[in-house]
């Protein structure tokens, strides 16, 4: 595991250079993508680089980490909508090559099994982008005595619902469940980049990457992955010397 500290303004360019190398090496790379506040500046940078002709997504394939259950793709708070709005509609990725779990599938169990199967059919994720929750979650793998390997339906913890209520009018509107890739699905990625920004993430980042490995801090398991880079901005990395 490698921890890289950058100033907040350097992070997007730094992460973009990794994605550019990845796509230059393999045009049809399988990218694992995240939503939330953290990737926004990075996706903006990708869009700029695409417009400059420095990034080409024409053959790229993407799989998102997660989606709320029971929020239609047309809902601006769904991750489906987020991805279109903040990335897909601005770049040359083929929409047929983008994948987001369907939180409205008739059988959510079947949808979960299908999702992992599709990732494997494409040969597995080459580069996975992750954020980290204030409680140490990755995807929506919430702190628990045991973590599930495969893509699954999960209840959202109270702290996650509170954190995500900033995108809703009221906490009661925040879905109570999501579909998320499991820890095993994430671990199969050939390379993982976890990005954490801001002072409010500094404590959990310290616990996750300098502390013991525990399912109560799901991100701490990443210490065991063979190719993981943690990118933090200066504020977030202030407890890491």
Q: Residue numbers of the site for ligand F6R (CB under 6 A)?
A: 34-38, 65-66, 131-133, 137-139
66 among known catalytic residues: yes
220: tokens are 């701490």
179 is written with which tokens? 């579909």
Report in angstroms the alpha-carbon separations of 46 from 26, 51, 153: 17, 9, 30
Cβ closer to ligand F6R: 55 or 179?
179
As measured in angstroms, the least distance from the Cβ of 67 to ligand F6R is 8
Q: Which is nearer to ligand F6R, 36 or 182 (CB)?
A: 36
Which residue, 59 or 73, is less far from ligand F6R as judged by CB? 73
Q: Find the DSSP H helices in the chain.
A: 11-25, 40-51, 79-86, 108-121, 158-164, 183-187, 202-210
Residue 182: exposure state from Cβ atoms within 10 A (0-12, 13-18, ≥19)? buried
Output the DSSP codes for 80-137: HHHHHHHTGGGS---GGGEE---TT-S-HHHHHHHHHHHHHHTT--SEEEE---TTS-
Cα angle vertex 213, ends 229, 128, to 5°? 30
Query: Is 142 among the catalytic positions?
Result: yes
Closest approach of ligand F6R to the CB of residue 131, in Å: 2
C-alpha dist (Å) from residue 73 to 77, 102, 226 = 9, 8, 35
Please tell me which residue in 86, 135, 150, 235 is annotated as part of the active site.
135
Q: Whole-number minimum distance, CB 49 to ligand F6R, in Å?
A: 21
Residue 217 CB: number of other CB atoms within 10 A?
21
Q: What residue has token string 């199967």? A: 117
In whole angstroms, how close is the CB of 52 to ligand F6R at the nearest point?
26
Q: Which phi and psi (to 5°) does residue 76 adopt?
A: -60, -15
CB-nearer residue toward ligand F6R: 1 or 40: 40
The one catalytic residue among 67, 142, 229, 233: 142
In angstroms, give the least distance from the CB of 161 to ligand F6R: 11
Residue 93 or 181 having the CB closest to ligand F6R: 181
21 is catalytic: no
Is 135 assigned a catalytic role? Answer: yes
Catalytic sites, residue numbers: 66, 135, 137, 142
């Amino acid at each position: 595991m490698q921890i890289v500290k950058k100033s907040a303004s350097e992070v997007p360019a730094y992460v973009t250079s990794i994605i550019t190398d990845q796509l230059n090496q393999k045009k049809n790379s399988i990218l694992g993508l995240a939503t939330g506040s953290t990737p926004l500046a990075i996706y903006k940078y990708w869009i700029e680089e695409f417009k400059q002709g420095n990034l080409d997504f024409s053959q790229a394939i993407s799989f998102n980490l997660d989606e709320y259950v029971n929020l239609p793709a047309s809902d601006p708070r769904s991750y489906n909508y987020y991805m279109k709005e903040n990335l897909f509609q601005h770049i040359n990725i083929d929409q047929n090559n983008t994948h987001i779990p369907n939180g409205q599938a008739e059988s959510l169990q079947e949808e979960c099994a299908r999702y992992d199967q599709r990732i494997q059919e494409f040969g597995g994720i080459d580069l996975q982008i992750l954020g980290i929750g204030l409680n140490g979650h990755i995807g929506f793998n919430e702190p628990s005595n045991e973590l599930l390997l495969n893509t699954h339906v999960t209840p959202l913890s109270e702290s996650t619902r509170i954190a995500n209520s900033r995108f809703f009018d009221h906490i009661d509107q925040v879905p109570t469940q999501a579909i998320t890739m499991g820890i095993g699905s994430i671990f199969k990625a050939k390379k993982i980049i976890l990005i954490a920004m801001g002072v409010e993430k500094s404590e959990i980042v310290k616990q996750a990457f300098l502390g013991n490995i525990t399912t109560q801090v799901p991100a701490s398991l990443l210490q065991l992955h063979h190719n993981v880079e943690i990118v933090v901005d200066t504020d977030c990395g202030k407890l890491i010397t």
